[in-house]
Amino acid sequence: MIVQRMIEISELNTPELLPYKERSEVQLYRWNEPAPGFFVAESPNVILRALADGYEPVSFLTEKSRIGHDFSLWEKYPDVPVYTAEEAVLKEIIGFQLTRGTLCLMRRRELPSAEELCRGKRRIAVLEEVMNPTNVGAIFRSAAALGVEAVLLTKGCSDPLYRRAARVSMGTVFQVPWTRISGERLPEELRSLGFVTAAMALSDRSVSIDHPALQETEKLAIILGTEGEGLKQETISSSDYTVKIPMTNGVDSLNVAAASAVAFWQLCTR
């Protein structure tokens, strides 16, 4: 029989709760520098996918009303404490209303090199300075659904394990392999990994996303830029292809998350 470490919270300043209460996501990320730090996963669906991907739980924090419902989250981890509290107490601890009732503090892992991650892959997505975590999460969800085999992020991108990104992705940040890339000479870095580069941008030399050469390319890296400014000019001019999505009604572009879904469907699922 599993004996779970259930701990009801009576003191808001309990040291074990500080990662949930007083630590920003950046602080959690840097907690053990230079070793990997921590992140907080929110909602049963996201937590289960993180656990399935092998991430190690440090503790759980849940509403008392969720204990019976969410037992599957912690049943395999009898030595990991589960902190519980009423809904109002939880809101005071974490500063917002939980929509799914449960959080989990988890240990990060060392990221693989881009070369290791991309070995044997044919279709990858590359995010250049995509700083909005909602967009990052939505792109990962599309990547998982539409055949992207890996995602590379430049240093300026929002972290996929930040709570909002993971939640918006519906936990698919734990299903699609990803890592960081310097991005200083992005197309050159990707070509060194064996990929033809396709920059999603409008320019005088843009080809339509249904151009036959794109579909026929053996190894393709689809590069997406941040909302508003888009890709760096150097990235556009140095890529093998500049690719546009045909538009109507005078609309010149889509949100990067919407554009990613169109690009992945066209270039990764045939």
- Looking at the chain, the whole-number percentage of residues with pLDDT higher than 90 is 59
Task: Using pLDDT thresholds of 50, 70 and 90, give the confidence band for residue 264.
Answer: very high
CA–CA separation, 188 vs 62, rounded Å?
47
pLDDT(169) > 70: yes
Least confident of 33-42, 83-92, 99-108, 173-182: 83-92
Instruction: Tell me the average pLDDT of the chain.
Output: 88
Instruction: For residue 82, give the nearest of 94, 64, 96 by alpha carbon.
Output: 64
Q: So what's the pLDDT on residue 197? A: 97
CA–CA separation, 178 vs 76, rounded Å?
26
pLDDT(51) > 90: yes
Quick one: average pLDDT of 52-74?
A: 82
Decide if 65 contacts 88 (C-beta within 8 A).
no
Task: Using pLDDT thresholds of 50, 70 and 90, give the confidence band for residue 1.
Answer: very low
Q: Is the model's pTM score more than 0.85?
A: yes
Q: So what's the pLDDT on residue 3? A: 46
Task: Using pLDDT thresholds of 50, 70 and 90, give the confidence band for residue 126.
Answer: very high
pLDDT(227) > 80: no
Q: Between helices 133-145 and 256-268, what is the axis angle to 10°?
A: 20
Quick one: average pLDDT of 220-231?
A: 89
- Looking at the chain, the whole-number percentage of residues with pLDDT higher than 70 is 91
pLDDT(16) > 80: no
Task: Using pLDDT thresholds of 50, 70 and 90, give the confidence band for residue 96.
Answer: low
pLDDT(39) > 90: yes
Quick one: average pLDDT of 153-171?
A: 94
Decide if 63 contacts 90 (C-beta within 8 A).
yes
Place of tokens 């037992």: 71
Burial class for 184, CB neighbours closer than 10 Å (0-12, 13-18, 19+)? exposed
pLDDT(218) > 60: yes
